[in-house]
Structure 1
Amino acid sequence: MTERLARLTRDTLTPEQVEIYDRFATGKRAAPGAAFSLVHPEGGLMGPPNGWLLSPPLGRVLEKIGYAVRYELELSDRAREIAILLHAFHRESPFEIYAHRQAGRAAGLTDAEIDGLATRTEPDFRSDDERTVFATTLAIIDRKTLDDAEYAAAVAVLGERDLFELVVLLGYYDFVATQLAVFAVTPPVEQVT
């Protein structure tokens, strides 16, 4: 399937769109050593933000949510990437898998751990938090909820705040995966890993 949205380049954008574009082309997301870039090598944005440029009011809000879930959660980087990768593999989302394999590696996940997530085989995690994120994420993506025992187990290890962050994270990436699927967004061929 061919991507359905043209890649919008900075020179064709309105001032409102440029403001959003620049948030992805500068700062933590574009800093040396960032896990992946959302700026296409040939110009323009790739992945979810390219679509967000179509509606600046939504693009501004989604950029802020995306920044918060990537950089401001209490969940550890490894726990966050475990959840995102489980979700990406569940949704069979090529761009999410491409981006978050790299982010997972940057967070300290090994290729063997990432391969385990792809097959839902629990890796030998470092902490109870990571094991709980793994089990809780699978329950949420499979059944869209937790039963009382799963909820109690998650709160006992993660606490209410981190469980809330995990639920929001999964909802956000479900939205992103849907957007990527509808608009047939794929990673750059030369960068697929």
Structure 2
Amino acid sequence: MSADNDSVIHLPLKGSATMRLTPLTSLTPEQTELLETIVGPGVEPPPPFLVWARNMELAHWVENLGRYCRNESRFPQRLRELSVLIAARHFDSQPAWNAHIQQAVEEGVPSDCLDRLARGEDPGFKAEDERVFHAFAHEMLHDHFVTDHTYAEAIGLFGEDGVLDLIGCIGSFSMSAMMLNTFRIPLRPHLPRPFADVDGFRRVPGGDA
């Protein structure tokens, strides 16, 4: 897209009492061009974009990695969506979870397994690729190391390139979750709170959803 340097697209972007950033009320031509590569023309920006767009040098690199992980990695869309939810649950990012839970179920991730994941329990995946994918990501995020057994299973299923994709996807979506939490991007008002132990931007062990 080519744009005049003086042009600005005005959008109805609303802030929140909890947000740590002043809401964007308009986009520069450079921001608009990046947005249109992500969601197409005339579409309201997704919440992560509204943060990354404040640092356009970083935003271009973040979007390149995010686009690869969302659309081009070696995994089926089912596992791509699962990777978002694993990162969202680990970092208590309720907006990220709500943004992807429906598509994950539509792609075939069992809803009962995701209910357990949301509660912080072992999801009990029966499909081998989901079980190994989750086990690898869980060990990497929680233990910071991956056991020989889990590594061998992942290599056997996904190959070395696939394991690199797995690490890249979890890393990319973890970065987004940390960003959403740091700048306190709120839940959409019509969506439920998915984690019983998270209220707003604080943990409440034993809390009710």
Establish whether TM, by shorter chain, passes 0.5. Answer: yes
Which structure 2 residue ranges, 5 or more long, are not aligned? 1-16, 195-209
Aligned partner of 2:102 in structure 1 is 102
Query: Residue 122 and residue 110 in structure 1: after superposition, are their counterparts in 2 closer, same or farther (change >3 A)?
Result: closer
Q: Which residue of 1 aligns with 2:142?
A: 142
Which portions of structure 1, spanning 4 or more consecutive aligned residues, are displaced by more than 4 angstroms?
Answer: none
Identity among equivalent positions (%) equals 27
Q: TM-score, normalised by structure 2?
A: 0.75
Aligned length, in residue pairs: 176
* Amino acid aligned to 2:77: D
Query: Hey, what's the Cα distance between the residues in 1 that align with 2:110 and 2:152?
Result: 30
Question: In the superposition, relative to structure 1, how do residues 102 and 5 fare at CA in structure 2: closer, same or farther (>3 Å)?
Answer: farther
List per-residue Cα deviations over 1:138-172 (Å, max 9, x = no partner). Answer: 11111122133322222122211111101111111
1:173-184 equivalent positions in 2, closer than 5 A: 173-184=173-184
> What is the aligned partner in structure 2 of residue 3 from structure 1?
19
* Structure 1: runs of 5+ lacking an equivalent: 31-38
Greater relative CO, 1 or 2 (CA 8 Å, sep 6+): 1
**Pair member with larger Rg:** 2
**CA offsets, 1:28-74, max 9 Å, x none?**
xx9xxxxxxxx5xxxx5232111111122211221221111111011
- The alignment partner of 1:190 has SS state of coil
Q: CA deviation at 1:124?
A: 4.2
- Distance (whole Å) between structure 1 residues aligned to residue 176 and residue 125 of structure 2: 29
Let me know the Cα RMSD of the aligned residues.
2.2
Once residues 98 and 141 of structure 1 are traced to their aligned partners in structure 2, the CA distance between those partners, rounded to angstroms, is 21
Mapped contact 1:47–1:187 kept (Cα < 8 A): no
User: What TM-score does the superposition give when structure 1 sets the normalisation length?
Assistant: 0.81
2:36 corresponds to: 22
